[in-house]
Structure 1
Amino acid sequence: MSDLTGRNQPPMDEPVTHHGPPGGGAGRVLLAVGIVLLLVVVAGGTTWWMYTRDPAPTTNTAPVRTTAPTACPSVKLRVAAAPEIAPVVRAAAKKLDDNPADPCDPVEVVAEEPGATVAAAAKPDVWIPSSSAWLGIANAGGAAFTAQGQPLAHSPIMLAAPAAVTDSLSKGGQTSWAQLTGAVAAGKIPAVTMPDAQATTVGLLSVYAINAAMARTTPDSGIAQLRALTLRSRLKDASADPTALVARVAGQWNTNGVIYDVGIFPILEQQLKVYQHGKHTVQLKGAYPADGLVEADYPFAVAKNNQDEALTKKLRAAITGTAITQAGFRAAPTPRALPLPAQPAGLLAPATMWSQYKSLATQVLLLIDASGSMNQKIKAPGGREVTRAALLRESGKFAAELFAEDTTIGMWYFGQPTPTSPAHQEVVSYGPITGQLDDGTSRRAALGKAMDNYRAADDSGTPLYQSVLDGVTEMRDKVSPGTVTLVVVLTDGVDGESTFKMTQAQFMTKLAGEQDPSRPVPVLSVGYGPDVDMKALNEMSEATGGKAFAATNPADLSSAIAKAFLAAHAPR
């Protein structure tokens, strides 16, 4: 089969080989509590590393060692290695034991997740994490590791699923993060599971790859982030252990051959090869995301205070390329790999946003300006003339896809076309975004339809202040523990030309009187166009604990909306 770039790739229904995808990066760590890699010799002399699993913890835990260090006084070199490569390193260390009668080897190899090494007070003499990225993260925290030579091994990250699920992942054997995101948003995939982006390298680098893929779909960074979070908001599990996922798949089956509680998940090519050679009942297929492929690499890093340089060099030499490839890794980097950011923050910032995006259920009331000024024409990208209302429709089409499954939401239009008209009207009733309206339409679909059908009435006034007051009052009664409750306002003008008109001072006095610290309702406001009163919007939002965003160019409306929603889900 071929990937999206047209280059040939291994068929998804066959064991993957070393001639896989174009692209990659660096990194891979599995926060595998209680998972031990055991050496298994497969018929024909090929060595593979298989997994056994202790009962999985029921709650998230910090990274831990899978093997405890010994207290042998004869140990000259202490090595921490990622669990999946630790057996290779341990076998190499055995070759350096010149006294078989001594139960303590001169080189002690601990199978340890990189996150545990970073967190530990005592650092090893030699560190072989599953990503070069961890060296920068550890050194930024005060460690002093230096990589010697090229990485020992490589393994690209794939998207895998039971065979019956994989068919929905790709067409003609091709896949991409953008394709997966679109399919998830459309409900065409039963489940997607991701490792913890802050604790595992598969998760960390997958999030980076997803954001890189979304950046290719739009020049606007805010929209790209939101599109990435579209996938995040639909995850079945956002903090899974990828090795445990493989174990779950191996131990589950149903009459249709579909494991719905796992679905699609990222995995190392090496892990998938190990699984496929294990002849499990549930067949796993894999595909390489052509629009954002990253790879794990395994640097041989030496601590500054390493006391035995000679033994260190011998250990490095004893880890042979043959042993690496027999264990299911690649000896060379994946061609055309995605480069990773030079600074740790380039990986950690999107991982933090991703990991904490859905930490609280969200309650949102959208207030959309439907006043007459929305029908004014402006210059859109490319020089075309379009009304602000039309631009809003274009920019807001995808907004309904961005809300997490645990969002409760409603939408009002505000405007006063006649002196007797109310300040606002409800266009989508408030309720769970996954719920159905009386006509059988899902609330998410109704939001999308409302944006498509959005029109502004000519000569309609702008009762902005009254609508915000009413919205805050409406949402305050809905505030409950464990939720974020918001009013999101989109307007291009100032309050006025309606029977509800009031001065800013009057409005701020009323808004202050509505505040209840025990039931906060932040207002996120987006103002755009030459007529918007950003000073008023800033003061309004700040008074409620929210934020205001200006889109000085009306064509930047999508970016402003994106910033507002990102602020709503920013880590707190």
Structure 2
Amino acid sequence: MADRGVLARPEFWPVSLLSVALVAVLGGWGTATYLDRTRQVPACVERTTLRIAAAPSIAPPVREIARRLALRERCLDITVEARESADVLRDLARTAPGGVGAASTRTPASKAASTPASKAAPNAPSTAPSAAGSPSQAGATIAGSAPPDAWLPESTLWLRRARAAGAFQVPADGVSVAGTPVVLALDSRSATRLGWRDHSLGWTGLVAATAPPLPVVLPDPATSPIGFGALVGIRALARSAQPNDAAAGAAATMRRLAPRTASLTGENPPAPTGPGTDEAAVVTTEQAVLLGGVSGRRQVAVYPPSALPSPDYPYATLTTGPGRDGATALLRALLATEGATTLTRNGLRTPKGGPPVGIPSGMGIRTGAYKPARLPGETDALALLNAWGGVHISARMLAVFDTSGSMGAKVPGSTETRLSETIKAAQGGAQLLLGTTELGIWEFSNDLDGERDYQEVVPVGPIGPRRAEIVAELGRMKVKPNGTSGLYDTTLAAYRDATRNWTPGRINMVLVLTDGKDDNASGISRADLLRELGGLVDRKRPVPILFIGVGPEIDPDELRQIANATGGQVALTARPSGIRQIFFTALAEFSCLPPKCRR
């Protein structure tokens, strides 16, 4: 038995010792490998630092998504700056066409900071919409910085504007990562009083009404994509209410809204302040209502009859340098399921209109999908903004009407004469101008005031208290039978009067409405007129002449020579009914005042 036992031990020990040795070796190798990995500094050969400029309303969730990406991508540092889109646009335009991409850098890992900014101050994950995502609390605005590696403005409109400013490194279209509809925000008490819960309250009764129950605060459409979206809505409402004269209806609404337009540095209009200011409707976004960014009071959202062009948050990669791969990785993270959840928890919708997460009851927020509308084309958008600019601007204008014999000709297909239809268009335009605009009216033919070919009908003065008088005086103008046209003498006299009475802070202009060329044998020549105008023009005190030519007898080259001498324009129309749109478009184009602009 003892021998059997002795013989048995050698069979066990080698196996046991081999197993123990193997475990020790493997364990030691594993421990050594773990220790070696923990000592691998740096973790990569080069580090890439990426700068992202994001609109304040989307910067907080983008910062959170970037933090998570940087934790996964050990060689990538990401800084997300909350920056107003207008500031980024200025930086891009200033540095065009070069300089983009300089913000992203690669540095040896041994020299890189051990903790990137995106990891040093992580945002707490969002679980529901909160005020932390409101534009006013999104983060510091960085002005005058170098161009970012990627830009995330609130709207594709900013990409268009950047390219129009010469920043052709900006793509015409980005990749939408989120959205939020344009809505009207009302104090919940006002909304309840006006019938919000039974759906009797809508944009038609608030925005388009001649006497709305609440004042409407509109962000300036010229600088705010939210305001521009509302402008599209105003036009749609006018087309529905006045299909035969939608332009007039839209312009009338614009003029009513103009005095309460907010000139903004941010994306959402400021809360009205002062006694009774909760009694106002503010054009803003669904996200702002959710996050309490409009006034801090409980608000409800009133949606337009159909979706409007709204913030679509286009992601645009700008760098062509070492940060491009990182910028692409961030875009993928924003579009991924986890990224989309973070964005919708901050009051935003998905690019296709999917709802935010955690919508509270009692605020009117639509819980279903809300498909966004497409932006108008650039030509259409410009025409709409020009129409807005025309009714929003105060001017000092001398309007000169041709009452010579040819203005008595019938307009084809109408019982109206050229003059009567021109007067109707002018009367409609006078109703739409701001009350602070100063307007005077002359008429001209030949020998209307002794030997003078022109005479004053209404002296220059504010329209506001004289609107009815101006409309009435326009209606009293008559054609002079067989009268000739003293166009040159009248134009020179009007220009002298306008330059002598030039008013700062306004568009100073002369408007001449005529159907023909100068045929006054006793008047000055065109060459004399151009020479006289050349001596009167002062580029620091511009007074452009706008000629609106009516009918087929117009000599456009003659008028262009005169207009060009003053920095003005010529517009031709077969029907005088087209005068109003021409005028407001031109008024918007003349709206750049010195010293900012030189003509």
Common fold, TM-score beyond 0.5? yes
Q: How many angstroms does 1:271 deviate by?
A: 0.4
1:154 Cα offset (Å): 1.6
Return closer, same or farther for 1:230/1:493 CA change in 2, 3 Å cut-off.
farther
Q: Which moved more, 1:115-124 or 1:293-302?
A: 115-124
- 1:141 has 2:206 as partner: no
Q: CA deviation at 1:562?
A: 4.7
1:94 Cα offset (Å): 4.9
**Residue 525 of structure 2 corresponds to which residue in structure 1?**
504
Deviations 1:307-326 (A, max 9, x none): 44667655653634444333
Q: Deviations over 1:46-76 (max 9, x none)?
A: xxxxxxxxxxxxxxxxxxxxxxxxxxx9886
Give the letter aligned to residue 203 of structure 2.
T
Indicate conservation of the 8 Å contact 2:262/2:269, yes or no: no
Ranges in structure 1 where 5+ consecutive residues have no aligned partner: 1-72, 435-441
Q: Matches of 2:411 and 2:562 in 1, distance apart?
A: 26
Asked whether the equivalents of residues 66 and 330 of structure 2 are also in contact (C-alpha less than 8 Å), the reply is: no
Structure richer in helix, relative to its length: 2
Q: Tell me by how many angstroms 1:277 deviates.
A: 10
Partner of 2:400: 367
SS of equivalent residue, structure 1 residue 110: strand
2:438 matched residue in structure 1: 408
Determine the C-alpha separation between the residues in 1 that align with 2:419 and 2:265.
46
Q: Which shows bigger deviation, 164-173 or 126-135?
A: 164-173
Larger Rg: 2
| Identity between Structure 1 and Structure 2 (%) | 25
**Residue from 532, 536, 549 that aligns with 1:515:** 536
- The amino acid across from 2:525 in the alignment is Q
Corresponding position of 1:399:
429
Distance in 2 between residues matched to 1:454 and 1:292, nearest whole Å: 46
- Distance in 1, Cα, partners of 2:497 & 2:295: 57
- Structure 2 counterpart of 1:270: 287
Q: Does 1:112 align with 2:106?
A: no
TM-score, structure 2 normalization = 0.62
1:155 Cα shift? Answer: 0.6
Counterpart Cα distance in 2 of 1:300 and 1:505: 55
- Structure 1 residue 509: Cα displacement: 7.2
Choose the corresponding residue for 2:180, options 143, 152, 155: 155
Cα distance change of structure 1 residues 411 and 210 upon mapping to structure 2, 3 Å threshold: same
Q: What corresponds to 1:468 in structure 2?
A: 491
Alignment match of 1:327 (pick from 346, 350, 354): 346
In structure 2, what is the equivalent of residue 426 of structure 1?
456
2:391–2:434 contact (8 Å) kept in structure 1: yes
CA deviation vs aligned residue, 1:360-398 (integer Å, no higher than 9, x gap): 85321111122333222121xxx3342212321332232
Structure-2 change in CA distance of 1:241 and 1:526 (3 Å): same
The one-character-per-residue Cα deviations of 1:112-161 (angstroms, maximum 9, x if unpaired) are 3344445365255665432345456668735477999x743221112345
CA contact 1:77–1:312 (8 Å) conserved in 2: no
Query: Given that residues 132 and 297 in structure 1 are in contact (C-alpha distance below 8 angstroms), is that contact kept between their aligned partners in structure 2?
Result: yes
Q: Is the 8 A contact 2:225 2:310 kept in 1?
A: no
RMSD (Å), alpha carbons: 5.0
After TM superposition, the structure 1 stretch with the greater mean CA deviation from structure 2, 305-314 or 328-337, is: 305-314
Q: State yes or no: 1:338 paired with 2:373.
A: yes
Give the C-alpha shift of residue 193 in structure 1.
Answer: 3.8
Give the 3 Å change call, closer, same or farther, for CA 202–452 of structure 1 in structure 2.
same
CA contact (8 A) 2:177 2:334 kept: no
Does structure 2 conserve the Cα–Cα contact (< 8 Å) formed by 1:504 and 1:536? no
CA deviation string 1:137-194 (max 9, x = no partner): 668735477999x7432211123455799899999423259x84774xx899756442
User: What is aligned with 1:26?
Assistant: none
Q: Does 1:548 pair with 2:573? A: no
- Gap runs ≥5 in structure 2: 1-45, 93-99, 104-146, 354-368
Query: Deviation of residue 245 (structure 1)?
Result: 3.5
Structure 1 counterpart of 2:292, one-letter code:
Y
What SS does structure 2 have at the residue aligned with 1:293? Answer: coil
TM-score (normalizing by structure 1): 0.64
Equivalent residue number for residue 57 of structure 2: 84
Higher RCO (CA < 8 A, seq sep 6+)? 1
Secondary structure, aligned partner of 1:319: helix
Letter in 1 for 2:62: V
Larger deviation, residues 263-272 vs 167-176 = 167-176
CA distance in 1 between partners of 2:80 and 2:281 (Å): 33
- Pairing 1:296–2:311 present: yes
Q: Is the 8 A contact 2:183 2:284 kept in 1?
A: yes
Summarize the Cα distance change of 1:448–1:275 in structure 2 as closer, same or farther, 3 Å threshold: farther
Does residue 173 in structure 1 map to residue 194 in structure 2? no
C-alpha distance in 1, partners of 2:455/2:408? Answer: 19
Residue 131 of structure 1: which of 125, 134, 155 is its match? 155
Q: Distance in 2 between matches of 1:521 and 1:98?
A: 61
SS in 2 for 1:527: strand
- Does the residue aligned with 1:386 lie in a helix, a strand or coil? coil
- Structure 1 residues 562 and 364, CA, compared in 2 at 3 Å: closer, same or farther? same
Q: Give matches, 1:383-394, under 5 Å.
A: 383-394=413-424
For the 8 Å contact 1:417–1:459, the answer to whether it is kept is: no
For the Cα contact (< 8 Å) 1:211–1:228, is it kept in 2?
no
Q: For residue 443 of structure 1, give the secondary structure of its aligned residue in structure 2.
A: helix
| 2:387–2:585 Cα contact (<8 Å) kept | no
Please tell me the residue identity of whatever aligns with 1:319: E
Give the conservation status (yes or no) of the 8 Å contact 2:390–2:585.
no
Q: Is the 8 A contact 2:387 2:588 kept in 1?
A: no
Q: Distance in 1 between matches of 2:551 and 2:488?
A: 18
Q: Match for residue 487 of structure 1? A: 510
**Structure 1 contact 400–445 (Cα < 8 Å) conserved:** no
| Paired letter, 1:408 | E
Cα distance in 2, alignment partners of residues 226 and 196 from structure 1: 14
Whether the aligned pair in 2 keeps the contact of 1:417 and 1:458 (CA below 8 Å) is no
Sort the Cα spacing of 1:459 and 1:189 in 2 relative to 1 into closer, same or farther, 3 A: farther
Instruction: Report the secondary structure of 1:465's partner residue.
Output: helix
